[in-house]
Structure 1
Amino acid sequence: MITDDENSALVRAAARNNAEWCDAVCRAHGLAGEFGEGTWSSTRRTPPLYPDAVSLTPQASAADLAARIDTASPGCSVKDSFACLDLEPLGFEVLFEAQWICREAGRTAPVTTALRWETLRSAASLPAWEKAWNDGEEGNGLFRPELLDGDSTFLAARSEGRIVAGAIATRGASVVGVSNLFATGDAPDAEESAWAGVLTEVTGLWPGLPVVGYESGESLDAAVRQGFTPIGPLRVWLHTA
């Protein structure tokens, strides 16, 4: 059972972990993000699907976050990790809402399927992983080889030699963050099965750490069925003015 104090600390840890992953992606693309007091931000536009700023505490200022980023470039966005910022007066609108989730450390790994999971080791394996993650569409090199040498681990499951599921696990100081989870195919339990496989891998690598991430809708339901607990809301804002 997670107490209120533990819940608050886990949300902060999840937000920090996610910002560290965003920072790693940016640095792999030659962009230097900056961790400030209660924020992470990039003065230059970040790669597609990645925010330009992330709030790390509920006390972060909307005006301060907006001042740190390039709102003149199309696609500028802010991850409001505590769903408490009012960015509308600054020209933003809510892009989507989600829930931070946590699976406590020490829980038994779920029963997995017959899929064979592996850790990607070579840069040559990244294009196939990105294509599977991108619903079968050729990628544009979003996930650079430099990411294989940091704190993040690319996980993949294969069927008949083809990648059919995967995720990225980022080791932080006190949590492991799982992001970019995907499962191909139309099976109703495909995503839940992917969670089971990923959790087996992650709990084997880092058995003493809680696992965190964020999800919404049916993806959130699948995570909850695999033992996650929603611990707090977040919003992503897109600059439209």
Structure 2
Amino acid sequence: MIGNSSQSKILKHTARSDAEKARICAANNADLYQAVFRAHGLPDQRTSAFWSSDAIAPPYYSNMTTLDRNATEEQLVEIGRLTDRLGGRPGLKDGFSRLDLVNKGFRLLFSASWIWAEPHRISAPAPQDWVRIRDGAALQRWEHSWKQSGSPTDAKVFTLALLFDPDIHIYGRCAGGGFDAGCIVNRSPEAVGISNIFSLAGTPQVFRDAVSLATVAFSPELPLVGYDRDEALDAMTKLGFKPVGQLRIWLSDEDGL
């Protein structure tokens, strides 16, 4: 039975508008970006309007994520500054689908949905055969599998420093001395995020396992959040997540990715 304190917290989360939930999703995602960049020793800056970095981003990461749907003028100024600073057009995550950057030399890579699950609405035991990655050798094997699943790059994306961040948990499912599935869970003040879900076998069970791990990793009073599209979005909605807003990923129109 859920106590009065827990009930009041659930009601508080439920009463939030989709726009507020999208803001919390974007903030949680920016926290993960910040952790990854700092684990690489890369500089970053953050305001109420955006998170950004002047450094060359690790593969599959943007140089900027927006944090306020109404601060478009400030965000456009930062996009111009980053473009000048980096000598080209940086990758950008428009967290609220508010920026039209076609005329500024960008092309839309894809759109996706922020997703949200209320606390206590998803209940599942910790899955078997999954472990938290705790050392460099295991992280190397985990990243090798992650790249095989559809994120090919020769660069090192996840560094050892991430394992010492108390707000980041990296999980893998053990298989033959390595890992055949994985995910990352990150904690923010207002939510727990799930990202980088992969399965070499392509089984939908991996989504349920990732949600179970996120449920037990940090405070059960916090909502679970993330962003997905296509089949992954369908899988997460079947598990109890609801779309709460749209985001867009922009790349330079000159970028061949």
TM beyond 0.5: yes
Name the TM-score, length of structure 2 as normaliser.
0.84
| Residue from 142, 157, 164 that aligns with 1:149 | 164
**Equivalence for 2:213:** 201
| Residues 105 and 68 (structure 1), Cα distance of their counterparts in 2 relative to 1, 3 Å cut | farther
**Equivalence for 2:198:** 182
Are 2:188 and 1:172 aligned? yes
Are 2:49 and 1:38 aligned? yes
State the alpha-carbon separation in 2 of the partners of residues 25 and 70 from structure 1.
Answer: 21
Moved more, 171-180 or 43-52: 43-52
**Equivalence for 1:140:** 155
**Equivalence for 2:103:** 89
State the alpha-carbon separation in 1 of the partners of residues 250 and 117 from structure 2.
Answer: 26
Query: 2:209 is aligned with what amino acid?
Result: G
| Residues 162 and 45 (structure 1), Cα distance of their counterparts in 2 relative to 1, 3 Å cut | closer
Name the TM-score, length of structure 1 as normaliser.
0.89
Cα-to-partner distance string for 1:18-68 (whole Å, 9 max, x where unaligned): 111111111122211100231111122211110111110111324223124
**Equivalence for 1:101:** 115
What is the aligned length? Answer: 236
- Give ranges in structure 2 of 5+ residues lacking alignment: 1-10
Moved more, 176-185 or 56-65: 56-65
SS across alignment from 1:46: coil
SS across alignment from 1:141: coil
User: CA offset at residue 111 of structure 1?
Assistant: 6.8
| Residues 138 and 9 (structure 1), Cα distance of their counterparts in 2 relative to 1, 3 Å cut | closer
| Residue from 48, 59, 65 that aligns with 1:48 | 59
Query: 1:197 is aligned with what amino acid?
Result: D
| Residues 237 and 108 (structure 1), Cα distance of their counterparts in 2 relative to 1, 3 Å cut | closer
- Whether contact under 8 Å (2:89, 2:106) holds in the other structure is no
Return the structure number with greater helix share. Answer: 2
